[in-house]
Structure 1
């Protein structure tokens, strides 16, 4: 029988899944560090319970950490001090590269499950030809959630250009409603108008990612890249946000768009998982569209690979940690996660197909994938992502800093990151 108890850590919430009985053999305790959030914790608990059922001699203890820059700093501190739990959740892509995976993380290239994991995912959790992470969840996209009831009431259609999006916002504001929920109380949520715009950047400047990595292109001097900052400022300048945008949280933003308190919320599609936990009855009223650019004929979606689970090189439970990661990346583990954490897009595990009853917001994404109108987010094409972006975008979205100045400041943030990574030409 499995029970869950509260454990106290530096994070606001911490849960443990403990085995109460089992065979008379030595127990191994596997510590598992997750980010706070009802969706991610529900999936972690389900995976822990399923793994414990297969391995009665293992107890999985789940801790929770904050998200955003606070959680990022916690991860780096724990790795540096050899205090990292046996398994932890973190970003794939450029942020993983900043962890110095070849010395800090456990090599899992030879796990049997790797044969069924998509190469596109393995590419973004690899360094030096070795794989370090397994997928936690499905692919996801950056774009804009919208309330279908408000759209029906006002006779609106999902926009395919930024001009159409702003025209919709003006009609929503004129009807006395909040057009765009913004939630700078959770600073990381402020980045979406910049990050989700990368499909449009790549269409306008196909070589931007390579030139950016090689220090030949900048946000401040590339008009297409600057537009994300300009969009963020425009939404603020036109008074389209909720009055409490500076203090509102991620959970507030989700509730606002799900219940019709706001018409739009720019966010990653992983939010569907949280809404399954907090507002399941409202999912049917929630749609999703890509962040629109200038040309309706070029409309497309910026896609993120799943976050990943890693094991630190210092774990004293190397074989158990590797086996747990192997289970998570298997078809069985993938389906366990899907059973409690609503899918956010297509899976990267072969044989782990989407269920037939996905919410409308996920159905809205699928045509982009089927028609090939997707592009990876910049952090999967370049190892550079400046850590201060979320603070800079809060300033732009609050009217405290002009877009051009913000873009130049972010370019400087990126320069520091590139030098830390030892990239050539910086």
Structure 2
């Protein structure tokens, strides 16, 4: 979404409160013959990120006592983006840094600024989707740290069992389920337009279906040749309108916020919530542990096919700037090689609430993950996953969440909303220097 950081981490920074060792530049020379080596890593300062890296640095120190991992934090969002670009441009970046994959990665001019990692032994073990979003036409530059997550429908399994419903694979099946749930006196679809960012998920999470119906849509969209006002991309806006028109929403959808929907799901007041799995998995772990086995997930159903798949967001990548050289470079590569092992994934699962499968071969989900996370694994195993549009195109207009609120509230038609969004993205295309 390029709102991934907002959606998954979101809150105020915690860097100062957690005693992480800050280091603006490269660490001490060394690394061979038992000499101590210090590696500096630059990460965002969200609480989840800080907790993750505290766990990773401690685990690596146990296995590699001669290597010290020093973690420095930067603010999330655009301020952090600018700091990273500045450090890369001036040659003052840390030994390694942890940052977005996809279009934000491409904006770093990786061929000029980053160390290629194509020849590393671990490259063949990472998911093809992830490899795509940390590569240019020239080379692969990143290793995954963190788990994937999806934009999908979170649903209450108990309600489904009580009403004898089956997981839908078509949009018509989904709407029929919604009608049965409404007839039972429950909220069929929770929506939370008080948090406007949540309104985007039905559109952005539908992108697997768009690309499946029209392969190459993302590339043509970036070239200005495809529009949301046309099928198959229009379907996401149409679905927002159809759910509203059918009266399937909670009465307070205009003012309700994300936490309200999670509560309704966990307590059995609502059956469905289109949302990012990473967000809900974290909320369950923190606030509704008893709902871990109650809430599941299925892909946003398609209007044209029953061959569903998950629209997925990839984890951040670990990158090495070209300013890291010599013994520091070798130590940095050894650290990355450890980061893409099952041991590292186990640490990641222990220190954060994973919102989906890992993207490294051999990295298994823990047995105690919420059902909505384990429900995703079969789609990864079968290859029925596709990248969210933000990983395939830099085009995303700033007004999407306001437009989807209007469409999902009956204020604006799906056709008008999609056409307005097509106008909105033109501005960004021009700012990116695209010839539209």
Cα separation, partners in 2 of 1:64 and 1:214, compared to 1, 3 Å: closer
Cα separation, partners in 2 of 1:249 and 1:32, compared to 1, 3 Å: farther
Match of 1:16 among 15, 18, 39: 18
Match of 1:266 among 266, 274, 280: 274
Q: Distance in 1 between matches of 2:383 and 2:291?
A: 29
2:133 is the alignment partner of 1:131: no
Quote how far apart the aligned CAs of 1:318 are.
7.1
Quote how far apart the aligned CAs of 1:358 are.
4.7
Match of 1:79 among 79, 84, 91: 84
Match of 2:293 among 261, 284, 309: 284
Cα separation, partners in 2 of 1:244 and 1:349, compared to 1, 3 Å: same
After superposition, give the CA deviation of every residue in 1:100-121 in whole Å (9 maximum; x if it has no partner). Answer: 4445666555666445333431
Q: Any conservation in 1 of the 2:150–2:356 contact (CA below 8 Å)?
A: yes
Cα separation, partners in 2 of 1:315 and 1:372, compared to 1, 3 Å: closer
TM-score of the pair, normalised by structure 1: 0.78
Q: Distance in 1 between matches of 2:381 and 2:406?
A: 37
2:218 is the alignment partner of 1:209: yes
Q: Distance in 1 between matches of 2:107 and 2:204?
A: 18
The worse-fitting range, judged by mean Cα deviation, of 143-152 and 103-112 is 103-112
Alignment partner of 2:293: what SS? helix
Alignment partner of 1:158: what SS? coil
Q: Distance in 2 between matches of 1:314 and 1:250?
A: 42
Alignment partner of 1:240: what SS? coil
What does residue 167 of structure 2 align with?
Answer: 158
Q: Any conservation in 2 of the 1:95–1:385 contact (CA below 8 Å)?
A: no
Q: Any conservation in 1 of the 2:20–2:72 contact (CA below 8 Å)?
A: no
Match of 1:392 among 396, 403, 407: 403
What does residue 200 of structure 2 align with?
Answer: 191
Q: Any conservation in 2 of the 1:113–1:327 contact (CA below 8 Å)?
A: no
Q: Distance in 1 between matches of 2:38 and 2:308?
A: 54
After superposition, give the CA deviation of every residue in 1:225-262 in whole Å (9 maximum; x if it has no partner). Answer: 11101212333344433445455444443333233232
Q: Distance in 2 between matches of 1:365 and 1:236?
A: 27
Alignment partner of 1:130: what SS? coil
What does residue 419 of structure 2 align with?
Answer: 408
Cα separation, partners in 2 of 1:28 and 1:345, compared to 1, 3 Å: closer
2:44 is the alignment partner of 1:44: no
What does residue 58 of structure 1 align with?
Answer: 68
What does residue 5 of structure 1 align with?
Answer: none
Q: Any conservation in 2 of the 1:11–1:64 contact (CA below 8 Å)?
A: no
Gaps of 5+ in 1: 1-9, 66-70
Quote how far apart the aligned CAs of 1:27 are.
7.0
Q: Distance in 2 between matches of 1:135 and 1:218?
A: 32
Q: Any conservation in 1 of the 2:277–2:355 contact (CA below 8 Å)?
A: yes
What does residue 4 of structure 1 align with?
Answer: none
Cα separation, partners in 2 of 1:128 and 1:343, compared to 1, 3 Å: same
- Matched residues, number: 405
1:22-421 aligned at under 5 Å gives the runs: 30-36=41-47, 42-53=51-62, 54-55=64-65, 58=68, 60-61=70-71, 63=73, 71-82=76-87, 86=94, 89-102=98-111, 113-114=122-123, 116-220=125-229, 222-271=230-279, 273-274=281-282, 275-295=284-304, 297-310=306-319, 319=329, 325-356=336-367, 358-421=369-432
Cα separation, partners in 2 of 1:105 and 1:11, compared to 1, 3 Å: farther
TM-score of the pair, normalised by structure 2: 0.77
After superposition, give the CA deviation of every residue in 1:181-212 in whole Å (9 maximum; x if it has no partner). Answer: 22345443322111121222233323423322
Quote how far apart the aligned CAs of 1:299 are.
3.0
Q: Distance in 2 between matches of 1:74 and 1:400?
A: 34
Q: Distance in 1 between matches of 2:195 and 2:70?
A: 29
Quote how far apart the aligned CAs of 1:273 are.
3.9
The worse-fitting range, judged by mean Cα deviation, of 261-270 and 241-250 is 241-250
Cα separation, partners in 2 of 1:206 and 1:399, compared to 1, 3 Å: same
After superposition, give the CA deviation of every residue in 1:252-302 in whole Å (9 maximum; x if it has no partner). Answer: 433332332321111223235412343332110011111111246333332
Q: Distance in 1 between matches of 2:336 and 2:254?
A: 38
Q: Distance in 2 between matches of 1:100 and 1:321?
A: 20
Q: Any conservation in 1 of the 2:240–2:408 contact (CA below 8 Å)?
A: yes
Q: Distance in 1 between matches of 2:421 and 2:113?
A: 27
